[in-house]
Amino acid sequence: MLSKEQNETLTRVGPGTPMGDLLRRYWYPIAFQKDLDEWPIKKVRLLGEDFALWKRPEGGYGIMQERCPHRSASMVYGVVEEGGLRCGYHGWKFDCDGVCTDQPAEPDKSAFKDKIRAFAGKAEALGGMVWVYIGPDPAPVLPRFDVFVDPGFKDVSHTVIPCNWLQIMENSVDPHHVEWLHGNYFRFIGEQRGFVAPTGFQKRHVKIGFDPMEWGILKRRVLEGNSEASDDWAVGHPLVFPFSMRVGGAGIEQMQMRVPIDDTHSWVMFYSNHRPIGLTEFPDQIYPESYELPWLDADGEHIVDYIEGQDIMAWVTQGDIADRTAEHIGKSDIGVVMLRRMFKEQMALVAEGQDPTVAFTRQESERIGLPCEKDKFGVNFLEFALSWLEMGSSRYSPSLDTVKKLHIDAAAIRGDMPGQAEAMLLTDTPGQ
Amino acid sequence: MNPFKKSPTDYPNHVEPPDPIAGRRLTGAHWWDPDRIHHLEDLPRHCPQCGAGLGDGISVEYWEADQRVYHTWCHGCRWTGDIVRVRRMIGHEAED
Pairing of strands B67-73, B80-84: antiparallel
Sheet harboring B80-84: ordered strands across?
B58-64, B67-73, B80-84
In A141-214, which ranges are E strands?
153-161, 205-213
- The DSSP bridge partners found for residue A274 are A153, A252
Largest CA distance in chain A: 80
The CATH number that applies at residue A48 is 2.102.10.10
Looking at the fold, whether A262 and A337 belong to one and the same domain comes out as yes
Q: Please write the tens of the pLDDT for every residue from A249-305.
A: 899 999 999 999 999 999 999 999 999 999 999 999 999 999 999 999 999 999 999
Helix (H, G, I), strand (E, B) or coil at A427: helix
How far is Cα A268 from Cα A418, in angstroms, rounded to an integer? 32
**pLDDT at res. B66:** 84
| DSSP calls for A40-60 | SEEEEEETTEEEEEEE-TTSS
Largest CA distance in chain B: 69
Looking at the fold, whether A330 and A406 belong to one and the same domain comes out as yes
Closest CA to A335 of A182, A212, A200: A212
Residues of B in contact with A3 (CB under 8 A): 39-40, 43
Looking at the fold, whether A206 and A117 belong to one and the same domain comes out as no
How far is Cα A350 from Cα A388, in angstroms, rounded to an integer? 39
Looking at the fold, whether A78 and A194 belong to one and the same domain comes out as no
Q: Would you call A326 and B30 a contact, using CB atoms and an 8 Å cutoff?
A: yes
Q: Which of B41, B59, B60, B70 to mutate to test the interface with A (most CBs of A within 10 A)?
A: B60
Q: Does A50 touch chain B (CB under 8 A)?
A: no
Residues of B in contact with A210 (CB under 8 A): none
Rounded to a whole number, what is the distance in Å from the CA of A349 to chain B's nearest CA?
Answer: 9
Helix (H, G, I), strand (E, B) or coil at A344: helix
**pLDDT at res. A152:** 97
How far is Cα A355 from Cα A204, in angstroms, rounded to an integer? 40
The CATH number that applies at residue A151 is 3.90.380
**Count of structural domains within chain A:** 2
Looking at the fold, whether A99 and A196 belong to one and the same domain comes out as no
Rounded to a whole number, what is the distance in Å from the CA of A325 to chain B's nearest CA?
Answer: 6
Q: Does B26 touch chain A (CB under 8 A)?
A: yes
**pLDDT at res. B16:** 57
Q: Is B92 exposed, middle or buried (0-12, 13-18, 19+ CB in 10 A)?
A: exposed
For chain A, what percent of residues have pLDDT higher than 70? 96
Last residue of a domain, one of A75, A99, A133: A133
**pLDDT at res. A119:** 96
Residue A329 located in a structural domain: yes
Q: Would you call B71 and A348 a contact, using CB atoms and an 8 Å cutoff?
A: no
Handedness of CA A271, A393, A172, A278 (dihedral sign): negative
Q: How many residues does chain A have?
A: 432
Q: Please write the tens of the pLDDT for every residue from A115-137.
A: 999 999 999 999 999 999 999 99
- The DSSP bridge partners found for residue A216 are A213, A240
User: In this predicted model, which residue has the larger pLDDT, A416 or A46?
Assistant: A46
**pLDDT at res. B41:** 87
User: Domain limits at A186?
Assistant: 146-427
**pLDDT at res. A427:** 40
Last residue of a domain, one of A133, A157, A175: A133
Looking at the fold, whether A156 and A267 belong to one and the same domain comes out as yes
Residue A280 located in a structural domain: yes
**pLDDT at res. A333:** 97
Residue A21 located in a structural domain: no
Distances in whole angstroms, Cα of residue A269 to Cα of each of A201, A238, A257, A401: 21, 16, 5, 21
**What chain B residue is nearest to A321 in terms of C-alpha separation?**
B25
Looking at the fold, whether A109 and A70 belong to one and the same domain comes out as yes
- The DSSP bridge partners found for residue A100 are A94
DSSP one-letter code for A395? G
Confidence of residue A416 (pLDDT cuts 50, 70, 90): confident
Residue A1 located in a structural domain: no
Mean pLDDT computed over B78-94: 87
Looking at the fold, whether A119 and A157 belong to one and the same domain comes out as no
Pairing of strands A289-292, A153-161: parallel
Closest Cβ opposite residue B40 in set A3, A319, A329: A3
What is the amino acid identity at position A207? Answer: K
| Contact call for residues A70 and A92 (beta carbons, < 8 A) | yes
In A224-335, which ranges are E strands?
237-240, 244-249, 252-262, 265-274, 289-292
List CB contacts of A182: < 8 A, sequence separation 6 or more: A198, A201, A307, A310
Closest CA to A284 of A122, A161, A402: A402
Residues of A in contact with B56 (CB under 8 A): 348, 351
Distances in whole angstroms, Cα of residue A225 to Cα of each of A210, A222, A389: 21, 8, 25
Last residue of a domain, one of A110, A133, A156: A133
Rounded to a whole number, what is the distance in Å from the CA of A50 to chain B's nearest CA?
Answer: 26
Closest CA to A85 of A130, A53, A133: A53
Residue B21 has pLDDT above 60, yes or no: no
Residue A17 located in a structural domain: no
Looking at the fold, whether A318 and A413 belong to one and the same domain comes out as yes
Confidence of residue B20 (pLDDT cuts 50, 70, 90): very low
Residue A428 has pLDDT above 60, yes or no: no
CB-CB neighbours of A126 under 10 Å? 16
Q: Does B85 touch chain A (CB under 8 A)?
A: no
Q: Please write the tens of the pLDDT for every residue from A168-187.
A: 999 999 999 999 999 999 99
Looking at the fold, whether A223 and A359 belong to one and the same domain comes out as yes
